[in-house]
């Protein structure tokens, strides 16, 4: 069996592991050494030094992550935002124009909105589900198109095949933030996306104990991004590499359970009389469902919803729950609950949130690994006590 033929559950364990094993160790040890002996390297980027992202811990992760998405190359970074901003800074130049989906993680949106202009990069936001409108935003200097597989926090799924076809037709680099789906549910390279970006802080690590990021995709682009990362210094520390490597090994079982649990919870909430709307790409009634069903192997552990009432009702519901922790972030073993308007999307103005369809009473849930029955029972009692 070649590595490409392995199931992804096998790859998370075996892909990218050093051969032979280091000192026979079953688990790759942490190489906590900032610098390594000079062995005749003939260029700066090849020097063995943590900031060059080339310790054995980095190399193993690069190989494992690229294998998981069947991509050519991978690169880990100090956070998801380091992956995103380093990619932008490596591939965009003053005078370039950029197309981005109109509903994105707040940090990404804010960087595009606030930092692109001073860098001389112009941009337009596009509706990911209205391919017919994209062309009117195209300019001779448009360089790239950027979307999220499942958008944060409304769980929209753009016409991803059309994004790739549009990028191809117009010579754009196609970039996708695959954090919410994870490689278990979607592998962008298989659909010809040029670059897949991750906040590994979330599902890939899965234990809410590090921040980390990654870019996976075409080798020529990854080389450019790695060179920029060496200069910007957003390198993942070897100890965090070790924790990410450990977390990755259980990604398969975690993600499948979180997919199944979130689907059941989404169904429970959407059938409840106190709930107004539920955003989950696995619900047949949800607008992104047809694309999600065609392209995704699972619908993720993320959902968002609005309860009938106002912001105070939403806050009361959150306070009434007993199992979820009220905290931003997502993708860990514990269920997290938050109102994006005051956490993940608080960097956007109220007007920007409203334009993106993110209401102040929207509640976002990251379903953990607790028993689904216990979570449903908890949400039921929290709704009952409103």
105 touches ligand PLP by CB under 6 A? yes
Q: Which of 177, 280, 353, 361 is catalytic?
A: 177
Q: How far, rounded to the nearest angstrom, does the alpha carbon of residue 117 sit from its chain's CA centroid? A: 25
What six digits make up the tokens of 33?
A: 């050494």
> CB of 137: closest distance to ligand PLP in angstroms?
22
| Eight-class DSSP state of 49 | B
Q: How far, rounded to the nearest angstrom, does the alpha carbon of residue 383 sit from its chain's CA centroid? A: 30
The binder of ligand PLP chosen from 211, 229, 236, 262 (CB under 6 A)? 211
80 touches ligand PLP by CB under 6 A? yes
| Count of residues in the chain | 386
81 touches ligand PLP by CB under 6 A? yes
Contact 122, 116 (CB under 8 A): yes
Greatest alpha-carbon span in the chain: 69
CA atoms of 386 and 384, how far apart (whole Å): 6
> CB of 237: closest distance to ligand PLP in angstroms?
14
107 touches ligand PLP by CB under 6 A? yes
Nearest 5°: phi and psi at 77? -135, 170
Q: Could you tell me which stretch among 4-12, 76-84, 275-283, 350-358 binds ligand PLP (CB under 6 A)?
A: 76-84
What six digits make up the tokens of 288?
A: 């992104």
Examine the residue annotation and report whether 237 is marked as an active-site residue of this protein: no
The binder of ligand PLP chosen from 174, 179, 235, 270 (CB under 6 A)? 179
One DSSP character per residue, 277-334 reads: EEE-TTSTTSTTHHHHHHH-SS--SEEEEEESS-HHHHHHHHHH-SSSEE-S---SSS
> CB of 154: closest distance to ligand PLP in angstroms?
12
Examine the residue annotation and report whether 202 is marked as an active-site residue of this protein: yes
Q: Which is nearer to ligand PLP, 115 or 374 (CB)?
A: 115
**Nearest position to ligand PLP, beta carbon:** 80
Query: What's the half-sphere exposure (Cβ side, CA atoms, 13 Å) at 323?
Result: 21
Per-residue mark of binding to ligand PLP, 301-320 (x: CB under 6 A):
--------------------
The binder of ligand PLP chosen from 85, 199, 208, 300 (CB under 6 A)? 199
Q: Which of 11, 64, 105, 339 is catalytic?
A: 105
User: Closest Cα partner for 166 from 145, 181, 180?
Assistant: 145
Site for ligand PLP in 143-172 (CB under 6 A): 148, 152
Q: Return residues touching ligand PLP (CB under 6 A).
A: 79-81, 105, 107, 148, 152, 177, 179-180, 199, 201, 211, 213, 329, 344
Residues involved in catalysis = 51, 105, 177, 202
């Amino acid at each position: 069996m070649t590595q490409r033929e392995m199931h992804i559950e096998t790859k998370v364990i075996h892909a990218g592991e050093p051969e032979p094993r280091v000192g026979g160790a079953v688990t790759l040890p942490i190489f906590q050494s900032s610098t390594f002996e000079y062995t005749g390297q003939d260029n700066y980027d090849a020097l063995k030094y943590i900031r060059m992202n080339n310790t054995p811990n980095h190399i193993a992760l690069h190989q494992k992550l690229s294998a998981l998405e069947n991509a050519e190359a991978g690169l880990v970074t100090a956070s998801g935002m380091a992956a995103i901003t380093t990619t932008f800074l490596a591939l965009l130049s003053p005078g370039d124009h950029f197309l981005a989906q109109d509903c994105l993680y707040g940090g990404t949106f804010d960087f595009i909105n606030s930092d692109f202009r001073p860098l001389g990069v112009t941009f337009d936001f596009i509706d990911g589900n209205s391919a017919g409108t994209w062309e009117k935003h195209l300019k001779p200097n448009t360089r790239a198109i950027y979307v999220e597989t499942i958008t944060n926090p409304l769980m929209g799924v753009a016409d991803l095949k059309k994004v790739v076809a549009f990028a191809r037709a117009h010579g754009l680099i196609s970039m996708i933030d695959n954090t919410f789906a994870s490689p278990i549910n979607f592998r962008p390279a298989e659909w010809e996306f040029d670059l897949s970006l991750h906040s590994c802080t979330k599902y890939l690590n899965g234990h809410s104990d590090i921040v980390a990021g990654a870019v996976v995709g075409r080798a020529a682009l990854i080389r450019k991004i790695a060179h920029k990362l060496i200069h910007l210094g957003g390198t993942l520390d070897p100890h965090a590499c070790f924790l990410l490597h450990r977390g990755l090994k259980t990604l398969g079982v975690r993600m499948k359970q979180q997919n199944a649990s979130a689907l059941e919870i989404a169904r429970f909430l959407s059938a409840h009389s106190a709930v107004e709307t539920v955003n989950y790409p696995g619900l047949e009634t949800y607008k992104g469902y047809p694309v999600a069903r065609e392209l995704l192997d699972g619908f993720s552990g993320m959902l968002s919803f609005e309860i009938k009432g106002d912001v105070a009702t939403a806050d009361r519901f959150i306070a009434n729950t007993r199992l979820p922790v009220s905290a931003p972030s997502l993708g860990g073993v514990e269920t997290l609950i938050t109102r994006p308007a005051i956490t993940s999307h608080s960097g956007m103005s109220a007007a920007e949130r409203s334009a993106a369809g993110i209401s102040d009473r929207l509640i976002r849930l990251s379903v953990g690994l607790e028993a689904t029955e216990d979570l449903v029972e908890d949400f039921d009692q929290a709704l009952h006590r409103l």
